[in-house]
């Protein structure tokens, strides 16, 4: 008897493998798989190998015209398809370089005044209130706060080390003095929860980039634990291990939305608005733009320059002729 030849992996499984080799996040993997599925279904389940530029353009046109999606969504779908052809199917054809991305509109960030920030934060309590204050007090992004680990908070140096931020870069930002005691109290409660998890054999935590193999004991060490964990256990979709992951960011988004509505603020403020407000208020207080750039982790100072639009009251700081009457 001869051993049966194993069947080759399916297209979506190959796609997942390529994504994981490049250490893309689970959210990126989910979105890329989603767009490839939609692309195949749109073309009546025909294999992408027999499709090309015409079919890709038809799909993107369908998204824009029939789906009425935003430019960023259309570009995300294009990125997923280009990744499929180049990395999975091994095709790098001339038409790929000619694909034009949708032009994203230039939007000014929503910024809260200091009074509005106080009004919102006063209406956020508990863990969500602490996370919101960290967002405004440090300028971190939403997922940077959600994924914060115990070892990256330094009370003696008054700083937070942001690991693997946007663009896979580390940076340092300040830790507000007013958050020392609330954060220490939170970590004491978190340590008790961690000890209970250890007793149940579920105290390990996800570590990226094979760190768990390099440091076998790290997943069950206190220093590597998430500061803001989930309230329940969940199964890791990649490894199948059941453990406590970080908090779902949607919970903070909902708490922020409720606080903004309760405060009677009509601006469309989200947790990311607190980061915008952090940068703007630092500039208003006289800090130079290069310092703010480093705290935010922007690669180009031009990105930070967008916050200067609110430094002058009114349009460009000009007094309306109506006020002179």
Residue 258 scores a pLDDT above 80: yes
Structure tokens at 246: 């970080």
d(CA 74, CA 202): 40
Residues carrying CATH 1.10.150.130, the chain: 11-97
Asked: is 114-310 a CATH 3.10.180.10 domain? The reply is no
Residue range 209-248, pLDDT digits in tens: 667 778 888 889 999 999 999 999 988 887 788 889 999 9
Residue 1 scores a pLDDT above 50: no
Structure tokens at 148: 């914060």
Question: Is 245 strand, coil or helix?
Answer: strand
Structure tokens at 211: 């760190």
Residue range 26-51, pLDDT digits in tens: 889 999 999 999 999 999 999 998 88
| pLDDT number for residue 3 | 53
Phi, psi of 51, rounded to the nearest 5 degrees = -105, 165
pLDDT band at 319 (very low <50, low <70, confident <90, very high): low
d(CA 190, CA 14): 39
Residues carrying CATH 1.10.443.10, the chain: 114-310
Nearest to 249 by CA among 121, 110, 145, 151: 145
Residue range 47-104, pLDDT digits in tens: 998 888 889 989 998 998 888 888 889 989 999 999 999 899 988 767 767 776 777 6
| pLDDT number for residue 6 | 59
Mean pLDDT in the chain?
A: 88
Q: Any long-range contacts for 170-177 (C-beta under 8 Å, 24+ apart)? A: 171/294, 171/295, 171/297, 173/138, 173/139, 173/140, 173/295, 174/137, 174/138, 174/295, 175/137, 175/138, 176/133, 176/137, 176/138
Active-site amino acid positions: 141, 166, 272, 275, 298, 307
> Into which CATH architecture does domain 11-97 fall?
Orthogonal Bundle (1.10)
């Amino acid at each position: 008897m001869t051993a049966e030849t194993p069947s080759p992996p399916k297209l979506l499984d190959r796609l997942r493998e390529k994504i994981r080799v490049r250490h893309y996040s689970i959210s990126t993997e989910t979105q890329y798989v989603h767009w490839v599925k939609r692309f195949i279904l749109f073309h009546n389940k025909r294999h992408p190998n027999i499709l090309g530029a015409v079919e890709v353009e038809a799909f993107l046109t369908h998204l824009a015209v029939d789906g009425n999606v935003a430019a960023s969504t259309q570009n995300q779908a294009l990125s997923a398809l280009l990744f499929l052809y180049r990395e999975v199917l091994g095709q790098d054809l001339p038409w790929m370089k000619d694909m034009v991305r949708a032009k994203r509109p230039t939007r000014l960030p929503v910024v809260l005044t200091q009074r509005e920030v106080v009004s919102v934060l006063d209406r956020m309590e508990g863990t969500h209130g602490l996370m919101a204050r960290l967002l405004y007090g440090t300028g971190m992004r939403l997922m940077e706060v959600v994924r914060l680990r115990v070892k990256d908070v330094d009370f003696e140096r008054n700083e937070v080390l942001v690991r693997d931020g946007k663009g896979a870069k580390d940076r340092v930002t300040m830790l507000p003095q007013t958050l020392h005691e609330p954060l220490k109290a939170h970590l004491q409660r978190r340590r008790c929860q961690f000890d209970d998890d250890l007793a149940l054999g579920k105290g390990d935590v996800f570590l990226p980039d094979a760190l768990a193999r390099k440091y076998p004991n790290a997943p069950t060490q206190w220093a590597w634990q998430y500061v803001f964990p989930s309230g329940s256990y969940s199964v890791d979709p990649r490894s199948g291990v059941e453990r406590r992951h970080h908090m779902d960011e949607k919970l903070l988004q909902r708490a922020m939305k409720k606080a903004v509505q309760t405060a009677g603020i009509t601006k469309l403020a989200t947790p990311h608005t607190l980061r915008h407000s952090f940068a703007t208020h630092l500039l208003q207080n006289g800090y130079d733009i290069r310092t703010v750039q480093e705290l935010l982790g922007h690669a180009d100072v031009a990105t930070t320059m967008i916050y200067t639009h609110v430094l002058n009251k009114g349009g460009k700081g000009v007094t309306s002729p109506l006020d002179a009457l």
